Structure 1
Amino acid sequence: MAKVLCVLYADPVDGYPTSYARDDLPRIDQYPGGQSTPTPQGTDFTPGHLLGSVSGELGLRRFLESRGHTLVVTSDKDGAGSVFDRELPDADVVISQPFWPAYLTAERITRARNLKLAITAGIGSDHVDLDAAIAHDVTVAEVTYCNSISVAEHVVMMTLSLVRNYLPAHQWVLDGGWNIADCVARSYDVEGMNVGTVAAGRIGLAVLRRLKPFDVRLHYTDRHRLPESVENELGLTFHASAAEMVPHCDVVTINAPLHPETEGMFDDDLIATMKRGAYLINTARAKICDLDAVDRALRGGHLAGYAGDVWYPQPAGPDHPWRTMPHHGMTPHISGSSLSAQARYAAGTREILESWLDGTPIRDEYLIVDKGTLAGTGAHSYSTTAQARS
């Protein structure tokens, strides 16, 4: 029998919900491009309920315990003596979300003598040391595409919020003011701007499609160039690198995975080549940006705004500079954890578990590492340290 260790974020401060704002979710059976949404043999949850917190348990307890397996769920993942560290050595499966990542470092993977499968309930598995997973023959899987559109919507929301100066204007209302001049002194139209994405995979392409109706000029860079038909449809300008693209853009959105080639990409030097007054949106991974370089660019006025929901570490401490830098629109890591997305990634997590427990193949698009090498989506999206050095 397997021991499944699941790390989820804590319940709401006023307790697990007993009611919800909406009664149902729209039914979605396929993602853009034709991939089907998760197809587990069954589910034990109500779509639209809070599944990503500790009490939600991703709807897995009845399923696992009915088969004789053990499920341990905790939000305590960091610090000496955390529940995660205490339970890890004999865990067969670790489940974690990017929003509240249980960092599976090389040292932790070495101590996890029984670990065979690491599942990301969501997308983005950089909290797992992929080199160590490969070395220890640990399969790494994620629920590819489950929340890509959720994140793309968040990017569009943040872009408009920054450019239109929405958050400070809303604060004037909350504070009882009617200070129109203060609200509009940093407010512009998105129309006619040049907007570029670093990476045009599932999320990046979805962002481009959603911004097209705003009559902006669209740019992208990606190591896999899009088909000519897509470029023509959206009027895209391709650039061979981020360094080539960003000087042309009023808004830059980062939608790339974190790996050795992207870590620290947006440093002082690259940001200095961006237009003065440009906006930077990062819902990918915080370490793609140099923390202090972003802070300096905002305080010095080179960037007009920065927004995102990814931090390092997560959760971010109260003294993290991104909490207090000017002209930011930061949120906790929530872009891919809407109640709509949770229903999909909970179902996808169960689908992966069903396949693994039954000894049947895990969907290729869910795989990041398998049989000692990058596999499936991982082979397309990630690189290992060894590959970066070659």
Structure 2
Amino acid sequence: MAQQRPRVVVTRDLPDAINARMAELFDVVANPGDVAMDRAALATAMAECDVLVPTVTDTIDAELIAGAGERLKLIANFGAGVNHIDLKAARARRIVVTNTPGVLTEDTADMTMALIVSVPRRLAEGEKLVRSGQWNGWSPGGMLGHRIGGKRLGIVGMGRIGQAVARRARAFGLSIHYHNRHRLPKVVEAEFGAEWHPNLDEMLSNIDILTIHTPLNDDSRDLIDARRIGLLGPQVYLINASRGGIVDEDAMVAALEAGRLAGAGLDVWRFEPEIDPRLLALPNVVMTPHMGSATLEGRIATGEKVIANIRFWADGHRPPDQVLEGWA
């Protein structure tokens, strides 16, 4: 059983309101400098705390978990994705892992829709042209892009975020196609006018825009590989605001350079924060710095979920957002 005021190490600087509330409730070791902890700092923290609050910038692997102190009993992740935490190793040590699902759905869907619009309409190129001072005024052939109304949107992963994207996309006149492990209820499909494709390859061959909303795990890593990128037509725009590892980045770059893809909108990267320099040279790629969930409202809501999970655990109850993968 944890002490009444558990010792909590927070690896990154959180919103002021969340920092203040944590300080009221727990014995907190904060990171006001907001510099990502290196491996040695993470190991030290995990040897001395009851609760670790990591983020996507922290890789909590089996070796770190094996070396953690006996008092570490909860990893309360600040964020929904947990692919940076070795869940099997945590289970072996009887360390509970929690996350913060649901709170960033609308923010991520907004960013995805912004990318869906921005790439075909060449918004980034147009903005750069204006800033360069080289724009000579309107012309009938200037900055021609493509409308998105009437196009076919393929969604990989029709969970909370995928459905929020579908809701927005339908209002823009896109037809909705999706691939999911399980088909949605017919009433949900009817809400979006969505068509389920049990075979991913078949869907990829029949869409104009592809957007990805599936977690990164062993099943989804390189899900959109060179072969599947080859199934996409040259008119297709690839949008990824999920995780960089789901798309084979080398194959995507090769397709973009060869004109086998029309463009891409990317908010995530395989080796963040490093960006493939070949992507930087491509004008038909819109790039944002992993900011799909970057709203103050979303960060506060995430922090509130972290606090709730810690409080439930400290009171001897099962946290509401315990990650069950790898647990009996």
TM > 0.5 fold call: yes
**Which residue in the other structure is 1:264 paired with?**
222
Query: Aligned AA for 2:152?
Result: N
Q: Kindly tell me: are residues 235 and 63 of structure 1, through their superposed partners in 2, closer, same or farther at Cα, counting changes over 3 Å? A: closer
Give distance in 1, aligned partners of 2:66 and 2:252. Answer: 35
Q: Kindly tell me: are residues 357 and 58 of structure 1, through their superposed partners in 2, closer, same or farther at Cα, counting changes over 3 Å? A: farther
**Which residue in the other structure is 1:293 paired with?**
251
Give distance in 2, aligned partners of 1:227 and 1:347. Answer: 31
Give distance in 2, aligned partners of 1:273 and 1:318. Answer: 25
- SS class of match (1:329): strand
Give distance in 1, aligned partners of 2:133 and 2:268. Answer: 31
- SS class of match (1:163): coil
Q: Kindly tell me: are residues 246 and 68 of structure 1, through their superposed partners in 2, closer, same or farther at Cα, counting changes over 3 Å? A: closer
Give distance in 2, aligned partners of 1:182 and 1:135. Answer: 65
After superposition, give the CA deviation of every residue in 1:33-88 in whole Å (9 maximum; x if it has no partner): xxxxxxxxxxxxxxxxxxxxx2636623x44444562323264435564x334323
Q: Kindly tell me: are residues 214 and 270 of structure 1, through their superposed partners in 2, closer, same or farther at Cα, counting changes over 3 Å? A: same
Structure 1 stretches of 4+ with a deviation exceeding 3 A read 55-58, 62-68, 74-81, 179-186, 318-326
Give distance in 1, aligned partners of 2:182 and 2:196. Answer: 11
Q: Which residues in structure 2 correspond to 1:239-388 (within 5 Å)?
A: 239-314=197-272, 316-317=273-274, 321-363=278-320, 366-369=321-324, 373=327
- SS class of match (1:347): helix
Query: Aligned AA for 2:132?
Result: D
Gaps of 5+ in 2: none
Q: CA deviation at 1:96?
A: 2.4
Are 1:131 and 2:75 counterparts?
Answer: no
Q: Which residues in structure 2 correspond to 1:209-228 (within 5 Å)?
A: 209-228=167-186
* 8 A contact 1:155–1:207 mirrored in 2: yes
- SS class of match (2:58): coil
**Which residue in the other structure is 2:11 paired with?**
7
Q: Which moved more, 1:320-329 or 1:211-220?
A: 320-329
Give distance in 2, aligned partners of 1:284 and 1:94. Answer: 24
Q: Which residues in structure 2 correspond to 1:52-67 (within 5 Å)?
A: 54=13, 56=15, 59-60=18-19, 62-67=20-25
Gaps of 5+ in 1: 9-53, 375-390
Q: Kindly tell me: are residues 276 and 55 of structure 1, through their superposed partners in 2, closer, same or farther at Cα, counting changes over 3 Å? A: closer
Q: CA deviation at 1:281?
A: 0.7
Q: Kindly tell me: are residues 58 and 92 of structure 1, through their superposed partners in 2, closer, same or farther at Cα, counting changes over 3 Å? A: farther
Q: CA deviation at 1:367?
A: 2.0
Give distance in 1, aligned partners of 2:275 and 2:241. Answer: 20
* 8 A contact 1:199–1:220 mirrored in 2: yes
- Give the aligned length: 321
**Which residue in the other structure is 2:58 paired with?**
102
- SS class of match (2:145): coil
Query: Aligned AA for 2:116?
Result: T
Give distance in 1, aligned partners of 2:16 and 2:49. Answer: 17
State TM-score, norm by structure 2: 0.90
- SS class of match (2:109): helix
- SS class of match (1:157): helix
Give distance in 2, aligned partners of 1:57 and 1:86. Answer: 25
Give distance in 2, aligned partners of 1:182 and 1:94. Answer: 58
* 8 A contact 1:91–1:115 mirrored in 2: yes
- What is the alpha-carbon root mean square deviation over aligned residues? 2.3
- SS class of match (1:218): strand
* 8 A contact 1:164–1:188 mirrored in 2: yes
Q: Kindly tell me: are residues 251 and 329 of structure 1, through their superposed partners in 2, closer, same or farther at Cα, counting changes over 3 Å? A: same
Q: Which moved more, 1:129-138 or 1:282-291?
A: 129-138
* 8 A contact 2:155–2:212 mirrored in 1: yes
- SS class of match (2:254): helix
Are 1:144 and 2:98 counterparts?
Answer: no
Give distance in 2, aligned partners of 1:133 and 1:80. Answer: 17
**Which residue in the other structure is 1:31 paired with?**
none
